[in-house]
Amino acid sequence: SAFYSHYEWYKGIKTLFTIHNIQYQGRYGIELMDEILGLPEHNLNIVKFDKDINLMKGAIETSNRVNTVSPTYAEEILDPWFSYGLDSILKELSLIHISEPTRQAEISYAVFCLKKKKKKK
């Protein structure tokens, strides 16, 4: 959404990024920024992380919501040991619990969404 929000068709679009395995973050050398990805220099801050580019970090920071595959995993990846370096970014988000009944049964399923905290003015 960060790269296309200026197009009329994308105005108001919301994005959700799902973390399935935080170990696979899409980390590459900074030289790929322009050569392969074609990202403009002024957008470097979105994906730059520890002298590399990190596509998961960029997705987390530009998505409207971030969720995980389970409530347990949402809690687990907030721990520095399990976050593979992204705990500081994830801790800027708020955990909220969403539970809804399924269409076929009255069984509830749980999904944790990491909701972005509102920045204080």
| 34-93 pLDDT, tens digit each | 677 777 777 788 888 888 889 999 998 888 888 887 778 888 888 999 999 998 888 888
Residue 86's CB is within 10 A of a number of other CB atoms, namely: 20
β 65-68/16-19 pair status = parallel
Check whether 104 has a pLDDT greater than 70.
no
Q: Is the whole model's pTM more than 0.85, yes or no?
A: no
Per-residue pLDDT tens over the stretch 11-22: 778 888 888 899
Residue 52: closest CA among 94, 85, 14, 96? 85
Hey, what are 53's tokens?
């580019």
Encoding tokens for residue 82?
């399990």
At residue 97, the pLDDT reads 60
d(C-alpha 46, C-alpha 108), whole Å: 36
CA–CA gap between residue 16 and residue 2 (Å, rounded)? 13
d(CA 58, CA 39): 12
- In this prediction, residue 25 has a pLDDT band, given cuts at 50, 70 and 90, of very high
Q: How confident is the model at residue 8 (pLDDT cuts 50, 70, 90)?
A: confident
